[in-house]
Structure 1
Amino acid sequence: MGSFDARGKSPLFTLIIYGVLVMSLMGIFIPFIYVISSSFATEQEFLSRGFFIFPREWTIEAYGYLLSNENFTTAFGNSVQITVTGTAINIILTSLMAYGLSKSWLQGHRYLNFMVLFTMIFSGGMIPTYLVIKELGLINSYWALYLNMAIAPFNLIVMRSFFQNIPSELEEAARIDGCSEVRLFLRIVIPLSMPAIATFTLFYAVFNWNQYFYAILFLNNSSDWPLQVYLRQMLIETTSGMEADAGGFHYTPAVKMAAVIITAVPLLIVYPFLQKYFNKGMLLGSVKG
């Protein structure tokens, strides 16, 4: 039997736990450092050294080369447009519907809640979804992306639970003072719900920024493709032996790593500003089912 410390834990067990955590951290940290450092390396160093953690010669040529690629900058702008517009539509529609479904006095709210839950279990499928979008005339339009996933059922249910936690006495007092439902929602409910709204804004922003499957399904024009589809094309062209795109841009390993870094940076910048709301929003929205 091994000895135990004052808290009743074995030092050997604690050592094993720390060892597993350190190895897990290294498994995440080393590839992350490799991607960043190799984006500043020269093509000659990739050919001569193969794998390395830190390059001997640092250069920003890959970033300048990539940012001069009109196809990449267009795809980046498309992703920004899809993320900003799509997230705004997502959060507005989700919050409005969740607030309505959180009211037990709303006629038919049980039926509507069931329909929301039903869509979490069963989906229409790819072909019916495509046919509906085609009949609506939304092919080659960003509205096919905005409206197709305008409301995520899981996000709606959690946000509805958050609204249900708001004291009804507060809303009744506002109504007695002559506050309309719209003003009550905008002036009282929304400020109190900022943790939930910020949390699901982040969820929707990540989803929209990573738009890939629906983009290649509904968008046929390459000039409308978001950044994730552009990265796919870069991968296809390099793995098929073509090291340059139609514009003649050469995809060196450093350029590919730089593309990964630039793609990840926007979300890494936004996340710290919303992190303080993240845990609070998820916990408060999970109190009631």
Structure 2
Amino acid sequence: MKLTLEDRLLHTFVYIVLFILSLLSLYPFWNALVVSLNSGTDTSLGGLTLWPRDMTLDNYHVILSDPRFFKALGISTLRTICGTIASIFFTALLAYGLSRKETMGRKFYMIMAVFTMYFSGGLIPTYLWLRELGLFNNFGVLFIPWTISVWNMIVFRTFFQELPVELEESAKLDGCGHYGLFFRIVLRLSGPVIATLSLLQAVFFWNEWFASGIYINDSNLLPVQNYLMNMINSNSAQEMISQLSGVSGSVGDMVTRSITPKSLQMTALMVVSLPIILVYPFVQKFFVKGVMVGSLKE
């Protein structure tokens, strides 16, 4: 269809606005990257904008030589994997049960589930509850309280209800029960929605730091986000610099020469953000893929 002059002007205006908004959104991340790649002493002089003036990898060398970082990174990785798998599986299982018309009291259970989205038990009751369960300073406290996501359950339930009835009837004729139908038919058709919700849950588990800061007192169980928060909100960066400044050799020399608390903080921010950013390109296609293409034909 041929565009009129007014349409072209409107499209141009929209693209310009979107381009400006994209730049405004990406610039803080880019600036953090520039600071992390620049000498800390040079950054303290100010005026650093789009490109490093004194490019160096000393900041990354210091962060990656800290054993606490890799320990926290391992905890976050394990938490994200275990939490995402457990959350998606049990949430999908609950959603499947509530999507069946023959489930007794399913409307009541849905009302109770939705009620928890608007009214929570509060921080103090949750604290006491988790303490009584023995989850304090326990790896399970990092993901067990979020095993069921009501919002994800509603998404799963809506998707399951839209599956063709013919699939269920044909599976039952072949001798499938509810578990066979769930594992062999429903889950196999739910690839895109599982991938989408898995990504959202993985991002949540990777970024969550508040609860782990409350329920975990053992520094060996703190995830990498708490490592970053401690570096930003306390004197952890300055303490690291003070410790490494007394070390003889190349590490001590580079700390004395070019490392500052701000450069370490920005470097930690970049290193912590990188893993979850790398996951997006591999899952993005599922956001646009048709969820039922070819299911009836096969």
Matched, 1:80 2:89: no
Confirm or deny: 8 A CA contact 2:59 2:263 kept in the other structure. yes
Which of the residues 145, 154, 158 maps onto 1:161? 158
Confirm or deny: 8 A CA contact 2:92 2:156 kept in the other structure. yes
Q: Deviations over 1:56-106 (max 9, x none)?
A: 332222112101111111111111111111111101111111111110111
Quote how far apart the aligned CAs of 1:52 are: 3.0
Aligned residues: 277
Quote how far apart the aligned CAs of 1:50 are: 4.3
Q: Deviations over 1:156-180 (max 9, x none)?
A: 1011100111112111111111123
2-side partners of 1:103 and 1:83: how far apart?
Answer: 30
Q: Secondary structure at the match of 1:248?
A: helix
1-side partners of 2:72 and 2:80: how far apart?
Answer: 12
Gaps spanning 5+ residues in structure 1: where? Answer: 285-289
**1:251 to 1:132, Cα distance in 2 relative to 1, 3 A:** farther
**1:103 to 1:30, Cα distance in 2 relative to 1, 3 A:** same
In structure 2, what is the equivalent of residue 207 of structure 1? 204
Confirm or deny: 8 A CA contact 1:45 1:55 kept in the other structure. no
Q: Taking structure 2 as the reference length, what is the TM-score of the superposition?
A: 0.85
**1:164 to 1:138, Cα distance in 2 relative to 1, 3 A:** same
In structure 2, what is the equivalent of residue 133 of structure 1? 130
2-side partners of 1:120 and 1:283: how far apart?
Answer: 29
1-side partners of 2:177 and 2:263: how far apart?
Answer: 58
**1:246 to 1:96, Cα distance in 2 relative to 1, 3 A:** farther
In structure 2, what is the equivalent of residue 277 of structure 1? 286
Matched, 1:101 2:98: yes
Q: Percent identity?
A: 37
**1:121 to 1:280, Cα distance in 2 relative to 1, 3 A:** farther
Which of the residues 147, 150, 153 maps onto 2:147? 150
Root-mean-square deviation (Å): 2.5
2-side partners of 1:98 and 1:247: how far apart?
Answer: 53
2-side partners of 1:173 and 1:282: how far apart?
Answer: 20
Gaps spanning 5+ residues in structure 2: where? Answer: 245-258, 294-298
Note the 1:221-260 alignment, pairs <5 A.
221-238=218-235, 243-245=238-240, 248=243, 252-260=261-269
Q: Deviations over 1:93-142 (max 9, x none)?
A: 11111111110111121111111111112111111111110111111112
In structure 2, what is the equivalent of residue 287 of structure 1? none
- Counterpart of 2:230 in structure 1: which amino acid? Q
Q: Taking structure 1 as the reference length, what is the TM-score of the superposition?
A: 0.87
**1:60 to 1:107, Cα distance in 2 relative to 1, 3 A:** same
Confirm or deny: 8 A CA contact 1:63 1:258 kept in the other structure. yes
Which of the residues 105, 108, 113 maps onto 1:111? 108
Q: Secondary structure at the match of 1:48?
A: coil
**1:84 to 1:184, Cα distance in 2 relative to 1, 3 A:** same
Quote how far apart the aligned CAs of 1:181 are: 2.3
**1:42 to 1:187, Cα distance in 2 relative to 1, 3 A:** same
